[in-house]
Structures are given as structure tokens and as C-alpha cells.
Amino acid sequence: MFDLSSLRLPVVQAPMAGGPSTPQLAGAVAEGGGLGSLATGYLSPAAAEAQLAAFRSLSTGPVAVNVFVPEQRPTSSSDAHDYRSSLESWCRAEGIVGDIPAVPLSVDDEARADYSSMLAMLERTAPQVVTFTFGLPGREDVARLQAAGVQVGVTVTTVEEALQAVDHGADLLIAQGIEAGGHRSQFDQSTVPSDITTEDLVRSIAGACGRPVVGAGGVDGPASAQRLLDAGASAVQLGTLFLTAREAGTKTTHRTALLDPGDRGTVLTRVFTGRPARALSNRFTTAMEGAAVAGYPQVHVLTGGIRAAAAVSDDPELLHLWAGTGFAACADETAASVLSRFDALRRPEPRAPGQSGV
Ligand SMILES: Cc1cc2nc3c(=O)[nH]c(=O)nc-3n(C[C@H](O)[C@H](O)[C@H](O)COP(=O)(O)O)c2cc1C
């Protein structure tokens, strides 16, 4: 069984669905002594399996494969229709291009079907680690993966979610603090996101759960990473810093905005997908905030045409520019160069048997 403590560097490259995560990025991180991740969000099981095969052709190191749990709290149909109307009015008034489809209510059923096939594929291909986000995997699913030799991680945003994940058999916990870029992993999309920092969340979960904890959110260099290790994390998970790594598949518009953000800061917003997510502020986040609803994945589909058109026309004002609070540390560099910043991290002393924590 894979063990986080066997990594030469206690650094996990975050799974980043929608393009940034590539087999080349995960392979470079694994070869550099960290744990690379692949993201299956928005991929079919066959496409995800092809990414895993591509990773395995690049590295014999460990890999984590990340899966979106289907929403436990589906979007209300009226919220989705209201959001669609607001979006359409705004786009018409402002001359914004991009197709806005009808409200796609069947996407929840499709997500559940894809989820089952994805788990069957992962049971068969057995990567070292499978991590879940957006929800709590069922006990039987966790046990089936573990029986195939897979370590199961669950991304949590509160101590309560961490305790539920442990109750369902999770081997490790990814503690995602408020600083994190991209989507909040909260189990219930409709709740107000917890505003606990990554450091406080790591400390609380390490004390309460007796499982290895990976701290995710806001790491912008070795000092913030070391604080998470000192708070009880076994490793740190970096997303934003890897977005501008050359091996990442980040869209050019997004990459350029991170490297040259001007006066943009980050905001936590549901406007692009219906789930709270941290992004660089732009015209879209400002204009649509008042209409935002808890509406994943329907809102994700509704805004897809506008975002695709923005990527084609290289317009950062209408694209989801996911970024954590540490985005100012992004640089145009290789994954190996990102990892080299963390060469001197000190792991915490192992705890004596019977002590809580990692
Ligand atoms: C562009 C982007 C895409 C992301 N996609 C995923 C994903 O598919 N699955 C997941 O578990 N986390 C995803 N995350 C969240 C990361 O796993 C992690 O929590 C976050 O990046 C850590 O914060 P940082 O960005 O400040 O390093 C994503 C983050 C970003 C920036």
C-alpha cells in the first residue's frame, strides 16, 4: 500500500479538472519526488483511463486519480431557470457572445452513471491513490477500491466532513481551506462555505481524525507549506502554483492572467458553475454575482458556451480564472522548478503510537 511518508517530497500536485491536469504534469511531479494527480472531472471513464495509461508510460512513480462525487443536493429547477434568464439578459444587453443552452436537468443522472463506471475503471486499474471531491463516497465504494489496493482520500472543508469521511473508511483526508483555488469541495453545495483557513483546518483534523492529512489551499512557497506540516499535515497539495507550470494544460488566457494579474484579486463565487469557487475577479464575477445560485452542475453547463467563446477570443473578462490566494507566486517554470522551491521542507517528527494525529 502506498504511504505518503514514502514520498521524497511531501508535495501533492492537485488534481485540476478542465484541462490543467495532464499526464505530463503528474509524471513530472512523480519523477520529481512528489505525488502527481490526474483529474477525471469532465472526462469519460475511457478518457480518464487513457490519461492513466499515458501517466504510466511517463513514470513508474505513484499517482492519485481524483473523482467528482455526484451532488447530494441537486440544483432546484427554478434556481437554474432564474440564473439562465439573468445570464441571457446580461449577455443580450452587453453583446456577449456564446451559446446558452436550455437548462440541462438530466446532467445529474448522467453524472451518477459516469461515476459508477469511473469507479469500476479505477478498481480495475488500481492507481496508488483515489481522491474524491464534492461529496462523501459510499462505504461500499471505498471498501471496493481498498480491496483493489487503492488508498482512498476524501477532500473535506470542515472537521464534521472529515469525521464523516473517516466513518466511511477514508485512509487520508485532504483538508481544503478557504484560501484554495478552484471549487470548494464542501459535501453540500448549498451551504455557505466554511471560512476556516487551511492551517486551522489541518490542525483541527489532524487532532480529531487520526488519519494522514494533506493541507490544500493558499500554499505560495516553502514558508506556508512548512506551517501546514508543522500544524500536522503529512503533505501539502498545490494547485495554483502548478497552473503556470509548462507541463500543465492551462488555457493561455488563464495562464497569462495569473502571470500578469494587474490589480485583480481573488473572489469566492458561484457565478461560473453554481458551486463556490475561488477565481481571479473579472467582469463576469462582478456582473453576475447578484444572480448567483447554488446550481452545480447545471450552471456549469449554462455558462459553458460563453466561457468557450472567451477562451477562443482570449478574453480574460469572461473566463473562469480559477486561482488561490497565493497566485502572486505563480511563475513561468517547469514542474521540477516548482518542486525545487520545496526541497528544504522538514517533515514533522512521527508521533508516538496512541497519539492522535498523523
Ligand atoms: C484550476 C483548478 C482546478 C481544480 N480542479 C480540482 C479537481 O478537479 N478536483 C479537486 O479535488 N480539486 C480541484 N481543485 C482544487 C485543488 O485540489 C486544491 O484544493 C487547491 O488548488 C489548493 O489551493 P491552491 O490553488 O491555493 O494551491 C482545483 C483547483 C484549481 C486551481
Question: How confident is the model over 301-329, as a mean pLDDT?
Answer: 98
Q: How confident is the model at residue 323 (pLDDT cuts 50, 70, 90)?
A: very high
Residue 240 pLDDT? 98
Domains within the chain, CATH numbers bracketed: 6-340 (3.20.20.70)
Q: How confident is the model at residue 105 (pLDDT cuts 50, 70, 90)?
A: confident
pLDDT at 348 over 90: no
Which residue minimizes the CA distance to atom 15 of ligand 1? 182
pLDDT at 8 over 80: yes
Q: Which of 324, 327, 282, 326 is nearest to 307 (CA)?
A: 282
Give the torsion sign (CA, 206, 207, 211, 212): positive
Q: How confident is the model at residue 283 (pLDDT cuts 50, 70, 90)?
A: very high
- For cell 476556516, what's the residue? 196
State the cell numbers at 85: 434568464
Ligand 1 atom closest to residue 17's alpha carbon, by position in its atom list: 8
- Expressed in angstroms and rounded, the spacing between residue 181 Cα and the centre of ligand 1 is 6
Residue 42 pLDDT? 95
Ligand 1 atom closest to residue 14's alpha carbon, by position in its atom list: 17
pLDDT at 353 over 90: no
Q: Which of 18, 37, 25 is nearest to 254 (CA)?
A: 18
Q: Which of 311, 301, 338, 303 is nearest to 255 (CA)?
A: 311
Pocket residue to mutate for ligand 1, from 11, 12, 13, 16, most atoms within 8 A of Cβ: 16
Which residues are paired to 39 by β-bridges?
A: 66
| DSSP designation for 59 | -
Q: Which of 169, 226, 191 is nearest to 342 (CA)?
A: 226
Question: How confident is the model over 198-217, as a mean pLDDT?
Answer: 97
Residue 60's Cβ-count burial label (10 Å; 0-12, 13-18, 19+) is exposed
144-196 pLDDT, tens per residue? 999 999 999 999 999 999 999 999 999 999 999 999 999 999 999 999 999 99
What's the chain's average pLDDT? 96
Q: Which of 124, 228, 234 is nearest to 172 (CA)?
A: 234
- Total residues belonging to the chain: 358
Ligand 1 atom closest to residue 326's alpha carbon, by position in its atom list: 26
Q: How confident is the model at residue 352 (pLDDT cuts 50, 70, 90)?
A: low
- Expressed in angstroms and rounded, the spacing between residue 15 Cα and the centre of ligand 1 is 6
Return d(Cα 276, Cα 183) in angstroms, integer: 6
Return d(Cα 117, Cα 135) in angstroms, integer: 17
Q: Which of 318, 310, 236 is nearest to 272 (CA)?
A: 318
Residue 356 pLDDT? 47
Question: How confident is the model over 214-222, as a mean pLDDT?
Answer: 98
Residue 90 pLDDT? 98
Return d(Cα 208, Cα 210) in angstroms, integer: 6
Residue 357 pLDDT? 43
Residue 351 pLDDT? 57
Pocket residue to mutate for ligand 1, from 240, 243, 255, most atoms within 8 A of Cβ: 240
Residue 358 pLDDT? 39
Ligand 1, CB within 6 Å, residue ranges: 14-17, 20, 39, 41, 66, 133, 155, 176, 179-182, 216-219, 237-240, 243, 322, 324, 326
Ligand 1 atom closest to residue 241's alpha carbon, by position in its atom list: 27
Question: How confident is the model over 275-289, as a mean pLDDT?
Answer: 98
pTM, to two decimals: 0.97
